[in-house]
Structure 1
Amino acid sequence: MHKKQSLFQISKRDTLPLSKALLIRGGILLLALVFCGLITTILTGKNPLSVYATILSGAFGTSRRIGVTFRNVAVLLGISLAVTPAFKMRFWNIGAEGQTMIGCLATTSCMILLGDKVSTPLLIVISLIASLVAGAIWGFLPAFFKAKWNTNETLFTLMMNYIAMQLTSYFIIIWEVPKGAGKIGIINQDTRAGWLPSIGNDFLLPILVVALMTGLMYIYLSYSKHGYEIAVVGESQRTASYAGIKVDRVIIRTMVLSGSLCALMGFLMTSGIDHTLTTTIVDSRGFTAVMVSWMSKFNPFIMIAASLLLVTMDRGASEVSSSLGLNHSFADILTGFILFFIIATEFFITYKVTLRKSSKKEA
């Protein structure tokens, strides 16, 4: 009795040359755009080229739109860079949302409580240190429990998002009513105490900070001793232990770094961009960052393109709904299809699909 074989055979590829890998990625991205164009025509009757043009106009149509788009790219990229060391170590940090928010909360606390007591330069330094420490604590706790008692880091970091959100909600109420009415809104609007210097209408400073962060993260992961230890622990904790690497220490150190960098982005958002605090200030970018990091294979420079794609589609969604009369979610549908094709790209780069040769055995 012969076992029925599949029509296709899947085998692992050798490492592809960069040029061929880029060709595959470019071809599948083009295929994704053609497919989305076909879906657009079928569902809406609209010219897909006009939809794509509207999306680009929503993101890059004016100088202000360009500034906002690249600022949003910087924030998403910064959070994505923050979670990358943990993911490369195979520590599933789903807590970037809370780690960023706790940075926002720590910054807001300093701006409100010390705004009229210390000079602005000193207040900025204090706010930065407070946010980094808060983020480090938010990263340390799940890492410590994972290292000592092997707790589930996915659930632990996810639950800490809700703790950060409820703490934020609590302090917003404390500072807003009744005695602190007016303190939450635009914080220190009259004095601008604790505000970062404005460079390019608040657009340029986060871009510069994240650009520096991207280069440093690439060097850290690729060329430093800590980056090597992260990679080894990610491959196999047992191998890392045999190699003399203190796995518990690496786990805790890496998560402290991730939490601190997420909180740094929270500091930039509150002190340099929004100058306020809400429970939606992070706007789910902590979860989107997970996708950006994974899609980019933990490469900081590829994350730039992934972040730009997601932010462009998000910014273009509003323009599509207002200009073409389409549902706001339509651009999100297109984004989902494009992401599906991009993720599938990695399969075809890693594996080769061929038709299985038929073979007949004589009785």
Structure 2
Amino acid sequence: MTKEKEVKEPLFHITKRKSMNWWQSLLTKGASIFAAVIVVGILSIVLIGQNPFRIFGTFFKGLFIDPWTLMLDTALLLGFGLAILPAFKMKYWNMGANGQILMSCLAAIYCMIEFTGKMPEPLIILLMFVASVLMGILWAVIPAIFKAFFNTNETLFTLMMNYMAIGLVNHFSYKHTNYNQVNIGIVNQLTKEAWLPQLGNKYVLPILIIAALTVLMYVYLKYSKHGYEISVVGESQNTARYVGINVRKVVIRTLGVCGVICGIIGFLYAGAISHTVSESTATLGFTAILIAWLAKFNPFVMVATALFVVCLKTGTGQINMDYSLGSTYFADIVTGILFFFVIGSEFFTNYKIKAGSRIRGIIDRIKKLFRKKKKAPAAENMASAGDISEKTEDADVSEHTNKEEIKK
């Protein structure tokens, strides 16, 4: 006879939540950030030997040194997030935003170099915009076509396209500088020809354009027919086919939209921000995935998540500078801890934990012990009160007898 194995109940039961109120979700994230701050404070004592409050003061000081740069960095990260948003909502894992924006910027820079002095400046700017958008669409649609018709892995395909873009940019830079250096430098730095006009300063125009793109993306995804089709294809391709949606067409069209956004961002890099192109021009694509996911693919919430990430990077950079740490190890540790806690809070947002019977039994025993400890002093007090009353009664009796004896 073989003994059946006893199946023990787990200590905890994890069940998926149906929904969570927005304020509960906000409290969960706030608690996770508070816990991360405590851990960072302990590490600042151990690793740097500094008062945690001084470290946090340095962090917040870094946020207000250059507010315009902070806003521009937030806008650019938001722009990268908008470029991948439609694809990710469709569950097409587009890892190629860096390459798509890099190639768009390359196309705009090429037009700036090639046609300066040969065409009127407004026409050059228009040509830069068209070339940038078309290149962004091309670089995004190529893997989409292979995905739609041959079911290739879009993650690997778009990653390889990134490396191809870096190689092409390096080749262009070497050729332009007669194979002397990788970076071509700022184009038209003296004449500033084919640069976009400034609205007060160089930061305002890119910020306004990306803000407008955010509103348009929200309207496109929430209220347009295309946005509805993206949601249906993302939920189930079989359901989409059943209701008559052409899945291949939706995939290619959606990546075309992503390419347009990438083209606009690349155009802004070339015409308004850096005025050059190198492999370090577009490096925010993977961080953009994080901010889009934390925002649950809501363009307006992505503004807050992008600002959070940029503040984190700026503040930790200031810590590294003020304390002359030499390397960015502490800044990277702080960033990693905060990301870990914030991402970990998503677990408690989506799932709830219930204690098993064994844990509940232990908790009940602990409660009983506390109740006994509370009852014991009460019993002692009652007993002492009884002793006092008995003593007073004895004293009264003895006093009465003494009085009787005195009368006699």
- Normalised by the length of structure 1, the TM-score is 0.93
Q: Where does structure 2 lack aligned partners over 5 or more consecutive residues? A: 362-408
1:233 counterpart residue number:
233
Q: Which moved more, 1:118-127 or 1:31-40?
A: 31-40
Q: Secondary structure at the match of 1:275?
A: coil
- 1:106, 1:130 within 8 Å by CA — same for their partners in 2? yes
After superposition, where does 1:195-344 map in structure 2 within 5 Å? 195-282=195-282, 284-326=283-325, 327-344=327-344
Secondary structure in 2 matching 1:353: strand
* Code of the aligned partner of 2:128: S
2:394 corresponds to which residue?
none
Describe the superposition over 1:242-266 as per-residue Cα deviations: whole angstroms up to 9, x where unpaired.
Answer: 1111100010001111122122111
Separation in structure 2 between the aligned mates of residue 181 and residue 240 of structure 1, nearest angstrom: 51
2:121 aligned with 1:142 = no
Q: In structure 2, how many angstroms separate the alpha carbons of the residues matched to 1:150 and 1:35? A: 45
Larger Rg: 2
2:357 aligns to what SS in structure 1?
Answer: coil
Letter in 2 for 1:33: V
- Give percent identity, aligned residues only: 43
CA apart distance, 1:299: 1.1
1:43-79 Cα deviation digits (max 9, x unpaired): 2221222222222222322xxx111111111111101
- Matched residue of 1:228: which SS? helix
The equivalent residue for 1:48 is: 52
CA contact 1:320–1:328 (8 Å) conserved in 2: no
Letter in 2 for 1:218: Y
What is the CA RMSD across the aligned residues, in angstroms? 1.9
AA in 2 matched with 1:300: P
1:331 counterpart letter in structure 2? A
> Equivalent residue of 1:27, what SS?
helix
More moved, 88-97 vs 259-268: 259-268
- Map Cα deviations across residues 170-227 of structure 1 (whole Å, 9 max, x no partner): 111111127x999931201232221111224211111111111111111111121111
Change in Cα spacing, 1:121 to 1:10, as seen in structure 2 (3 Å) is: same
- Residues 40 and 337 in structure 2, CA contact (< 8 A), matched pair in contact too: yes
User: For the Cα contact (< 8 Å) 2:90–2:230, is it kept in 1?
Assistant: yes
Q: Which residue pairs with 1:162 in the alignment? A: 163
C-alpha distance in structure 2 between counterparts of 1:184 and 1:16, whole Å? 52
Check conservation: 1:317, 1:329, Cα contact below 8 A: no
What residue identity is the alignment partner of 2:247?
V
- Give the aligned residue type for 1:17: N
User: Is residue 133 from structure 1 mapped to residue 134 from structure 2 by the alignment?
Assistant: yes
Query: Distance between the aligned counterparts of 1:39 and 1:200, measured in 2?
Result: 42
Cα distance 1:263–1:329, how it changes in 2: closer, same or farther (>3 A)?
farther
What is the aligned length?
355
Q: With CA pairs under 8 Å and 6+ residues apart, which has the higher RCO, 1 or 2?
A: 1
Q: Give 1:276 deviation, angstroms.
A: 1.2
Q: State TM-score, norm by structure 2.
A: 0.83
SS in 2 for 1:110: helix
Q: Is the 8 A contact 1:240 1:247 kept in 2?
A: yes
Matched with 1:67 is: 68
* In structure 2, C-alpha distance between the alignment counterparts of 1:168 and 1:234, rounded to whole Å: 33
Encode CA deviations 1:93-149: one digit per residue, 9 max, x unaligned: 000110010011011011001111112222111101110000000111000000000
Which letter does structure 1 place at the counterpart of 2:218? Y
Secondary structure of 1:19's aligned partner: helix
Distance 1:214 1:146 in 2: 27
Look up the SS of the partner of 1:338 in the other structure: helix
8 A contact 2:11–2:355 mirrored in 1:
yes
Aligned equivalents of 1:200, 1:192: Cα separation in 2:
16
The answer as to 2:155 corresponding to 1:174 is: no
What is the CA–CA distance in structure 1 between the aligned matches of 2:181 and 2:12, rounded to whole Å? 67
SS at match of 1:135: helix
Which amino acid letter does the alignment assign opposite residue 167 of structure 1?
A: L
Partner of 1:189: 189
The residue aligned with 1:100 is 101
What is residue 15 of structure 2 aligned with on the other side? Answer: 11
Change (3 A) 1:183 1:150: closer
Equivalent-residue separation in structure 1 for 2:48 and 2:24 (angstroms): 36
Query: Within 2, Cα distance between the matches of 1:97 and 1:110?
Result: 20
d(CA) in 2 for partners of 1:182, 1:338: 35
Residue 405 of structure 2 corresponds to which residue in structure 1? Answer: none
SS state of the match for residue 11, structure 1?
strand
AA aligned opposite 2:336? G
Give the conservation status (yes or no) of the 8 Å contact 2:94–2:154: yes
The 8 Å contact of residues 174 and 182 in structure 2, kept in 1 or not, is answered as no
Task: Name structure 1 gaps, 5 residues minimum.
Answer: none
Shift of residue 39 of structure 1? 2.2
One-letter amino acid matched to 1:170: H
- Give 4+ residue runs of structure 1 displaced > 4 Å after superposition: 180-183
